[in-house]
Amino acid sequence: MKYTLQNKRGAWALISLLCLALVPTAGCKAPTVAQVAQDIVNWTPALQSAVATIDASAGMLLPADTVIFSTVTQGIDAGSNLLVNQAKVYLANPSASALGQLQAQVVAFQQQVNASLLAAAKIVDAKSQTLVMNAINGVATIVLAIMALVTSISSKVAIARMAQDSPIKLASLPRQNLDAAIPVVAAHYGESMAQAQAQVLTAHTQLVAMGF
C-alpha cells in the first residue's frame, strides 16, 4: 500500500502503539523517562548519518542548484549537533530544566527541517529537487521519531507550548515520504516492517493532532 504523504530496541519497541500515541490502554506500560532519554540518544548516530547524506548531496547537483541547496540546508549541521548535545545533557540529568531545553531544541530543529523542505520544493530542476527532498526527508524521519519520544514524556501544557512554537506544520509540508521512514524505524528498533509502519503512521497522525 503506497501512502500519499511523501516525506536495537528502544522506547518504540518497548511500548505499544497506543502508549506511544499517549493513549494508554489496559496492560500498556508507559516507558520510564530514562528509557525515553536513552532512546533519544540512541537515535543520534542515525541523525548524524542523515545529515551527512545532505552534505554529500551537494556534489551531485547541477552547479546552479548548488547555491540554492546551500541556502536550503544552511544550519542543519549546527541544529542537529545542538539537538544531539541537548539529548545527552538530558540523559545525564533528566531534570525538568533539561527537559524544557530538550523540548525547545527539538522544536527548533524540526522547524528548521520543515523550512528546508518548503524551500527545497521550489528548486526548479526535477532531478535536483528529488535528490534534495529525499536527503532532507532522511533527517525529517528521525526528527519525527525524536519529537514523538519527547512528547511522550512531556506534559499537556508543555506540548501545547511546543506546538505554539511550531508555525510550520507537518500537514503543510510537501512530499513527506512516510514510506521511506518505515525501514529506518524498523532497522533502528530491530522490528518488523508492519510494526514500524504502524508506529510511523500513528506518530505522524498524533503529532499533527497535537498541533505540530
**What whole-number distance in Å separates Cα of residue 74 and Cα of residue 37?**
28
Q: Per-residue pLDDT averaged across 166-186, rounded?
A: 86
Q: What is the pTM of this model?
A: 0.83
- What cell was used for 137? 526527508
pLDDT digits (tens, 9 = 90+) for 79-91: 999 999 999 999 9
Please answer whether residues 44 and 105 qualify as being in contact, where contact means their C-beta atoms are separated by less than 8 angstroms: no
pLDDT for position 18 = 35
Q: Under a CB-based contact definition with an 8 Å cutoff, are residues 8 and 185 in contact?
A: no
Question: Contact 91/37 with Cβ under 8 angstroms?
Answer: yes
**Measured between alpha carbons, how far is 45 from 51 in angstroms, rounded to an integer?**
10
Least Cα distance to 204 among 158, 163, 148 occurs for: 148
Instruction: Say how far apart CA 75 and CA 182 lie, in whole Å.
Output: 26
The yes-or-no verdict on residue 22 having pLDDT over 50 is no
d(CA 98, CA 88): 10
Q: Are 147 and 21 in contact (CB under 8 A)?
A: no
Quickly tell me which residue has 554529500 as its cell.
Answer: 56
What pLDDT, on the 0 to 100 scale, is given for residue 30?
62
Which pLDDT value is given to residue 98? 94
